[in-house]
Chains A and B, each alone.
Chain A
């Protein structure tokens, strides 16, 4: 069982669709993260939110739009994605951004772009 909940677990969408991925945690953590993981590759950081403000954007294309509506929720809005965006999208949270804080990961949303 994971303390970071991601929905949906699987998502199939066309290149013209708009969809959103959702991530929720109730551990009181103030830092939240999105990672992308392609098959057989390590996770790659996309975005970091700290105290509900965007702290790091790793030069992610604008077709990915993150949102942090409150301290427990993190969304990733998807629009006009490409087939190469098919991947596992992982959300994580930690007490804060400090380098000693462990990150707690969800089990991800597996996204397929048709």
Chain B
């Protein structure tokens, strides 16, 4: 399984943008990049995913490097509710292995008022 590397922790101020980096230098051509987050005392929550192009949804944006060896999750205006552990995950291109979410250590984001 391809591995991802994220900083252990990051801090942000409320209402400012946050850029959460992820390195995945061994990504294969068919791996999708997924981001999940886990708020305290809750199960993980899907945030966004992409393959090659940048993606936007109501929660965040995902910027993918041209060589796909890194990506960045962008929260446009952090709120206190965004304090969570953010996981960057590669999902295998083989169908029956695609269900496997292999969580790394993630980045713990704290948001200051």
Chain A residues engaging chain B, CB cutoff 8 angstroms? 2, 4, 31, 33, 35, 42-45, 48, 50, 55-56, 90, 92, 94, 97-108
Closest 8 CB pairs of A and B: A105-B43, A99-B98, A42-B103, A97-B99, A102-B46, A99-B91, A48-B99, A105-B44
List 16 A-B residue pairs with CB atoms under 8 Å apart, sorted by A's residue number: A42-B103, A45-B100, A45-B101, A48-B99, A50-B96, A92-B44, A92-B101, A99-B31, A99-B92, A102-B34, A102-B49, A103-B36, A103-B46, A104-B46, A107-B41, A108-B43
- Residue of B34, B43, B99, B102 touching A50 (CB-CB under 8 A): B99
Q: How many residues belonging to B are interface residues under a CB distance threshold of 8 Å?
A: 29
* In contact, B43 and A2 (Cβ under 8 angstroms): yes
With A42-B105, A99-B93 already in contact, the answer to whether A92 and B43 are too (CB < 8 A) is yes
With A90-B43, A99-B93, A102-B46 already in contact, the answer to whether A43 and B99 are too (CB < 8 A) is no
With most chain B CB atoms within 10 A of its CB, the pick from A56, A90, A100, A107 is: A100
Return A40 CB to nearest CB of chain B, in Å. 10
- Residue of A90, A92, A98 touching B95 (CB-CB under 8 A): A98
Number of A-B contacts (CB under 8 A): 73
Specify the main secondary structure of chain B where it touches its partner. loop
Chain B 53-90 interface residues, beta-carbon cutoff 8 Å to A: 85, 87
* In contact, B101 and A103 (Cβ under 8 angstroms): yes
Chain A residues with Cβ below 8 Å from B99 are 31, 33, 48, 50, 55-56, 94, 97-98, 103
In the complex the two chains form, what is the Cα distance from A2 to B38 in whole Å?
13
Chain B residues with Cβ below 8 Å from A92 are 43-44, 101
In the complex the two chains form, what is the Cα distance from A102 to B87 in whole Å?
13
* In contact, B96 and A43 (Cβ under 8 angstroms): no
In the complex the two chains form, what is the Cα distance from A50 to B99 in whole Å?
9
Chain B residues with Cβ below 8 Å from A90 are 43-44
* In contact, A45 and B102 (Cβ under 8 angstroms): yes
